[in-house]
Structure 1
Amino acid sequence: MKFPLIHLKQFEQLYIKYPDTLICSCNEISIKYAEFIKLTPVYHEICSSAFISLKWINYLDFTYLNGFSFDYSNLSPSFQPQILRSLCQLVEETVNSNLIQFHSRTFISNQLISKYICEKRINNTIYLFQNSTRQTFKQIFELTREIFHGNALITIDDKRSWKEEKKPINDNIVYMRLPSIYSDETCSCATSLNCSGQAMMKGVPTHGFFIGCYPIEAMLRSTLECLYKKSCLNLISSNYEQNSSNFPIELLQLKTRYNINETIQNMIDRLFVDKWNVNYSYLNYSNKCHSTECTNSIIQQFHMLYVVTSIINLHGWLTMLLRLLIPLIINISFRMYYRRRQMVIVPNVTTKI
């Protein structure tokens, strides 16, 4: 059966009636995701907060932080905000680039599919996109860090990873670089890039801040819980030479569904994305498909009883047909036979003179 398709509601009614056999061919079988899907990430609030702004970083650079020490020289107070700013920018650029590729991909379907099946296919595609984006970024990020550590590169804050020592050898002073040791003298920066220790401020352990062989590694182990607590921020601001009123400090508002003690590493693993907003229009998809006609095939299964009765019925029809045709055929045959016998053949006689 054929049905002219006028609007989507008509298709939905037909699909309810013929869910397994209805076929509505699309006039356009390749549709770009951008035509009916919009995927938007919602990033962690730190990536849009004042704590990674250039104004805050410059403010830290021109002040003196009396704490943040761990056996070695002071760590620049702007290191962690700068690293966070760079990580947020890198992640957003990566996600935006992948989103452009995602929206330019095509949804292939030669027939109009139901809303449920369409939604299921879209969700599977989005899940694969999100997972592949995270995994690709993580692999490149980890490889870069391993290369950095494997080549024993020295950071600007070099005493965190390698410390300089003087040793007298044969009346000469030899300067040597030895790896820094963390975690109760058990973790060496020469063998591991994950060595870290609790950052201190005025002899008091900070809330979630660490220092380590490399600033990036210390940052990945750190959390942002200090930025949610007024007492912690007050402790930081009290160390500045400038009055903190020159730069009003506002706490993070816990707009994320994750805990405040989540590590930066976990945030990186999910690309700083708290959630994905998925907006798709089934109506736009059906309009782009532009199916104008549907067909429905009736599928009937032949049971043994049905086959036997069909044969019997067929035999009965053949019997009736033969009963009608056989006398007629015999009658015509006899007529032809008698007619041939009655035919007179006249010989060709020639007279002689």
Structure 2
Amino acid sequence: LSSGQRLHNLYVLMKQKIKQFNIFESKIPSTDEHDIRNTILSTRLFIVTLTVAVIVLVFYTSLIDQTRIVIIKSPTFEQYATLYEKSSETLTCSCTQISIPYDKFIHLSPIYHQVCSSQFITDKWFKYINDSRPGGLIYTNDFRWLGLFQFQILENFCQLSSKTIDDELLIFYSQTTHLSQTATIASNITFQLQSQALIEQFQSTTKNNFLRLLQLIQDITQANKLISGLNTNYAIWAYNYTDFLFTTFVTQEYNMPANCICQVTYKCFQLSSITSFRDYLPGFLNGCFLLSSLLQSTLECWYNQTCFKQLIYEMNVSTTTTTTNFTILDPSRNNQYKPNTTIITIVN
């Protein structure tokens, strides 16, 4: 046979085999043509169904994302940030340390009120007030008598605030985060929120501790009925009667609130003034105790050039012995606080 004839015979044979292909043929060949035809049709249907299923499976597999695990040891922060941006949902990064000091990722820089860096808590201002004191009687609402001690208290407030915050920061920085062995890096937003919560907790704790101590000092002073050496809560009157000297203590009375007496409460105040001053010193108070009256005072006159110049004029200090070159507080600084903000609000 020629090669063409052989190929034709092979084609006919293959065609016949395909037509007769039957995977459901029984072990005992059937002679029933109807049964044979049914099993052949079933075979063809099975093959078509299987082919379609394989095609669908291959197509579906090509569409879905395949997760590939890539391990990067000790990545830099820049590498981590890039990976997080690309694969935030699947990225996991275990912590190499389970205890991290706060000072490794938090740094706080306290900003103090401008009065704490001004001339008004320096010896220059203290000397100026001291040189303005007149002779004769002491007036419990005269700024020239009491202002020196109040500004010295203000200086101590600035120093105590700085010392308290520095001490609390040392404690805060020494504290550490405590993570589990399987802890992973938090997202940037979560980290920022957690850090902000730590900072707010530190601020609240430091402030509350300071205010509790301040309140305790005032309460103890009032409860023990301590007498001020400046006669601000009790006035001492001495009477010379023949051969006897009688001494009596008279409680001081102030007009804020009306008819307020120091024997009952230390929260009695009145506006400070200078005896020859036409008006009271705006916002600056005297009272039963210098500390409590200072806390309720404002520094608005020290923000106002006109008011401060009038105060300097009324203090009437000789310029030959004392300089009057003082710079008032800048109202554009410390925008959080207005000039009429009380000192206790600033302390808070």
**Which amino acid is 1:52 matched to?**
I
- How far does residue 69 in structure 1 lie from its aligned partner after superposition? 4.5
Q: Confirm or deny that 1:33 pairs with 2:96.
A: no
Match for residue 252 of structure 1?
329
**Which amino acid is 2:232 matched to?**
R
- How far does residue 218 in structure 1 lie from its aligned partner after superposition? 1.3
Unaligned 5+ segments in structure 2 are 1-68
Distance 1:19 1:118 in 2: 15
**Which amino acid is 1:108 matched to?**
H
Greater RCO between the two (CA within 8 Å, min separation 6)? 1
Work out which of the residue numbers 160, 165, 175 in structure 2 matches 1:105: 175
Match for residue 76 of structure 1?
146
Normalised TM-score (structure 1): 0.69
Q: Confirm or deny that 1:193 pairs with 2:266.
A: yes
- How far does residue 75 in structure 1 lie from its aligned partner after superposition? 2.4
Structure (1/2) with the larger strand percentage: 1
Is the 1:70–1:197 contact (alpha carbons within 8 Å) kept by the matching residues of 2? no
Aligned residues: 268
**Which amino acid is 2:302 matched to?**
L
Q: Give 1:41-56 correspondences, 5 Å limit.
A: 41-56=110-125
Change (3 A) 1:92 1:14: same
Distance 2:126 2:189 in 1: 49
Work out which of the residue numbers 196, 214, 218 in structure 1 matches 2:289: 214
Is the 1:33–1:104 contact (alpha carbons within 8 Å) kept by the matching residues of 2? yes
Change (3 A) 1:180 1:27: same
Distance 1:185 1:17 in 2: 70
Q: Confirm or deny that 1:224 pairs with 2:299.
A: yes
Q: Secondary structure at the match of 1:139?
A: helix
Work out which of the residue numbers 167, 180, 201 in structure 2 matches 1:128: 201
Match for residue 3 of structure 1?
71
Deviations 1:247-269 (A, max 9, x none): 30111112111111000111111
- How far does residue 17 in structure 1 lie from its aligned partner after superposition? 5.2
Change (3 A) 1:2 1:65: farther
Q: Which structure: larger Rg?
A: 2
Match for residue 242 of structure 1?
318
**Which amino acid is 1:240 matched to?**
N
Could you list the structure 1 runs, at least 4 aligned residues long, displaced by more than 4 angstroms after superposition: 65-74, 166-173
Q: Output the aligned Cα RMSD.
A: 2.8
Distance 2:162 2:143 in 1: 33
Is the 1:222–1:263 contact (alpha carbons within 8 Å) kept by the matching residues of 2? yes
Which region of structure 1 is more displaced relative to structure 2, 30-39 or 2-11? 2-11
Change (3 A) 1:69 1:235: farther
Q: Confirm or deny that 1:137 pairs with 2:214.
A: no
Deviations 1:319-353 (A, max 9, x none): xxxxxxxxxxxxxxxxxxxxxxxxxxxxxxxxxxx
- How far does residue 208 in structure 1 lie from its aligned partner after superposition? 1.1
Q: Confirm or deny that 1:182 pairs with 2:263.
A: no
Is the 2:237–2:250 contact (alpha carbons within 8 Å) kept by the matching residues of 1? yes
Q: Confirm or deny that 1:94 pairs with 2:188.
A: no
Unaligned 5+ segments in structure 1 are 270-353
